[in-house]
Amino acid sequence: MKQSITLNRVTKFMGLGFLITLKSLFTGELDKEGFKNFLRKIVVPIASIFLFIGLWHMGAKSLYNIEAEYKIEKALTEQGQEAAEVMRACIASGDVSCQPNTLPSPAQVWESYKTLLRDHQVIKADKVAFAEKTAALNAKRVAEGKDPITYTGRPSFVDQIFTSLKTVFAGFLLALVIAVPIGVIIGLSKTLRSSVNWLIQIFKPVSPVVWLLLVFMIVKTMTKDSNSDSAFIISFISVGLCSMWATLVNTAMGVASVDKDYINVAKVLKLGPVQKVFKVILPSSLPLIFTGLRITLSVAWMVLIAIELLAQSPGLGSFVWEEFQNGAIDSNSKIIVAMFVIGGIGFLLDRIMLTIQNTVSFNKTSGI
């Protein structure tokens, strides 16, 4: 009995409480309410996944048939019955040269996912081999004060994921560093809030394209004679400027809505301005600040993909654009793989921010 209780505690701690529910279900110890929770939290989500995959498969098959019939009909109209029969046979054979290029099925997307992983392993091996070949030469170049020779081959899909994550976190930190202090300052003064509100309302809805062009002009001028990576600088600054507004507004609202009793207590304790901000105002404003940070991180991830696509800088956005331009038979499948990866990473980033918010805040937030 004691071992069973210990196992249950460990299982709950590891976030695998559903295993206890399954055990109770098979042993007949699950009550009616527990069974309803089991259906709602486990069975229904799994069923919805299979339903989604099934609808996707049927939709892809339907579009495939429509496109195939169109290609056959076009061959019949332009070249005659014999050409139409040749096209029909070619499509039936699975020949890549004549396959309809439309919405891929779940199986095709899965195959593209495995292809991308295999491609990553090949590129990774090439990098290791290149490093081994140039190790002695690079050691000599470094000793002479010269820059080492670096690998210039194409990045893999996994490499581009990490590039995008690095860029989005740099942009997010920039947004945090700019928005939180300015939000605190604005929130402390009604006059300042009313005087800069028009500025916030004008810049908040500006498109990422406009921010990208503005940052591009400034950074290119400032780094004209520099060896720094201007593409990365342009991308993360654009991301930061696009996404900072939710944090700025929420921080200002949080500071402005701090209970006056807390401010009066700070006056009684004779706290200085800096102490008052860090010991009273910021702790009281944390729920709203973290709500703004969650929105900022989500917006940063969304606009990053668009900015990478427009700026042709390395990352997932660039990967999607290159596959779209490529037009290969598996390009659509790879784009959908990227779509799921982008969505999955966005979900994980939001969960991480929610966990941090619930850790440091008195007010627990539901996982919406």
Tens of pLDDT, residues 189-215: 888 888 888 888 898 888 888 888 898
Please give the pLDDT value at position 86.
Answer: 86
pLDDT of residue 35: 64
Query: What tokens appear for 282 in the block?
Result: 């910021």
**Cα–Cα distance for residue pair 53/61, rounded to 1 Å:** 12
Please state the length of the chain.
368
- pLDDT value of residue 20: 55
273: Cα separation from own chain's centroid: 38
Instruction: For the chain, 368 residues long, give each residue's pLDDT as a single digit of tens.
Output: 444 444 444 444 444 555 555 555 556 565 667 667 767 777 788 899 999 999 999 999 999 889 888 888 888 888 888 888 888 888 888 777 788 888 889 999 999 999 999 999 999 898 888 888 888 887 887 787 777 787 777 888 999 999 999 999 999 999 999 999 999 899 888 888 888 888 888 988 888 888 888 988 888 887 776 666 688 888 899 999 999 999 999 999 988 888 777 777 777 777 777 787 788 888 888 888 888 999 999 999 989 888 888 877 788 988 988 888 887 778 889 999 999 999 999 999 989 888 888 877 655 554 55
pLDDT at 363: 52
| Total-model pTM | 0.80
At residue 228, the pLDDT reads: 63
Buried b (16+ CB within 10 A) or exposed e, 1-27: eeeeeeeeeeeeeeeeeeebbeeeeee
Architecture of domain 156-360: Orthogonal Bundle (1.10)
Give the type of residue at 243.
S
Contacts of 72 (CB under 8 A, 6+ apart): 84, 87, 88, 91
Residue 79: what residue type? Answer: Q
Helix H, strand E, coil C: the string for the chain is CHHHHHHHHHHHHCCCHHHHHHHHHHHCCCCHHHHHHHHHHHHHHHHHHHHHHHHHHHHHHHHHHHHHHHHHHHHHHHHCHHHHHHHHHHHHHCCHHHCCCCCCCHHHHHHHHHHHHHHHHHHHHHHHHHHHHHHHHHHHHHHCCCCCCCCCCCCCHHHHHHHHHHHHHHHHHHHHHHHHHHHHHHHCCHHHHHHHHHHHHHHCCCCHHHHHHHHHHHHHHHCCCCCCCHHHHHHHHHHHHHHHHHHHHHHHHHHHCCCHHHHHHHHHCCCCHHHHHHHHHHHHHHHHHHHHHHHHHHHHHHHHHHHHHHHCCCCHHHHHHHHHHHCCCCHHHHHHHHHHHHHHHHHHHHHHHHHHHHHHCCCCCCCC
pLDDT at 6: 47
Report the interhelical angle of 17-27 vs 2-13 (nearest 10°). Answer: 140
Residue ranges per structural domain of the chain: 2-98, 104-154, 156-360
Q: What is the pLDDT of residue 225?
A: 64
The answer to whether 289 and 254 have CB atoms below 8 angstroms apart is yes
| Pair 266, 280: CB distance under 8 Å | yes
CA distance 259 to 112: 55
C-alpha to C-alpha distance for 95 and 98, rounded to whole angstroms: 6
pLDDT of res. 34: 66
Asked if residues 308 and 164 have their Cβ atoms less than 8 Å apart, the reply is: yes
Question: How far apart are the C-alpha atoms of 93 and 96, rounded to whole Å?
Answer: 9
